[in-house]
């Protein structure tokens, strides 16, 4: 998985970039098939930095989230939580699609007689 951290209108220290990278790496726990993560930090307004996350997964699925808070850490956490929610929802959707296609998972209906009453098979002895 490739992680790219870039900055607009300012500069991030190597410590900040390392912290961002370590937090973003944890997204792989929610969905294993991530191929790349792009983090863009916009420092145009220093009092409220913006963090954009773009995550690419296998099979052409892209996820995007933006955090806009009072500090860089809060903005990053907000964007990560939005992305985690998207990844959970997508993974649940994919898994439920596969669970529904299992053969034999449908319940069998009870045997009815011609009048629509349930037939108790224990009443019939061989």
Find the domain containing 72 and state its range.
2-99
Is residue 14 domain-resident? yes
User: pLDDT at position 99, please?
Assistant: 74
CA dihedral 22, 50, 10, 45 (to 10 degrees): -150
Here the CATH number for the domain that contains residue 31 is: 3.30.160.100
Q: Which residues contact 11 (CB under 8 A, 6 or more apart)?
A: 43
The long-range contacts involving 53-57, CB below 8 angstroms and separated by at least 24 positions, are 53/24, 53/79, 53/80, 53/83, 55/27, 55/83, 55/87, 57/31, 57/33
CB atoms within 10 A of CB 4: 12
pLDDT number for residue 69: 94
Q: What is the pLDDT of residue 66?
A: 96
Per-residue pLDDT 10s for the chain (126 aa) are: 899 999 999 999 999 999 999 999 999 888 888 899 999 999 998 889 999 999 998 877 799 999 999 999 999 999 999 999 999 998 888 888 777 665 544 555 556 556 656 666 666 555
pLDDT attached to residue 76: 95
CB 18: neighbour CB atoms within 10 A? Answer: 12
Instruction: Output the pLDDT for position 119.
Output: 63
Q: What is the pLDDT of residue 114?
A: 61
In the chain, the number of structural domains is 1
Looking at residue 29, its pLDDT comes to: 87
Q: Is residue 106 part of a domain?
A: no
Alpha-carbon distance of 76 to 62, in angstroms, equals 18
Give a yes or no: residue 34 inside a domain. yes
- What confidence score (pLDDT) does residue 90 get? 87
Six-digit token string for 37: 């993560």
């Amino acid at each position: 998985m490739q992680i790219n951290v870039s900055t607009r209108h300012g500069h991030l220290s190597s410590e900040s970039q390392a912290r961002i990278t370590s937090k973003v790496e944890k997204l792989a726990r929610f969905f294993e098939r991530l191929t790349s993560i792009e983090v863009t930090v916009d420092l145009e307004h220093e009092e409220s930095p913006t963090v954009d996350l773009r995550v690419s997964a296998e099979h052409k699925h892209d996820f995007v989230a933006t955090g806009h808070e009072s500090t860089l850490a809060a903005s990053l956490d907000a964007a990560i939580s939005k992305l985690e929610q998207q990844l959970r929802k997508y993974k649940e959707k994919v898994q439920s699609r596969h669970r529904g296609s299992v053969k034999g998972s449908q319940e069998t209906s009870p045997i009815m007689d011609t009048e629509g009453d349930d037939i108790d098979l224990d009443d019939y002895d061989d």
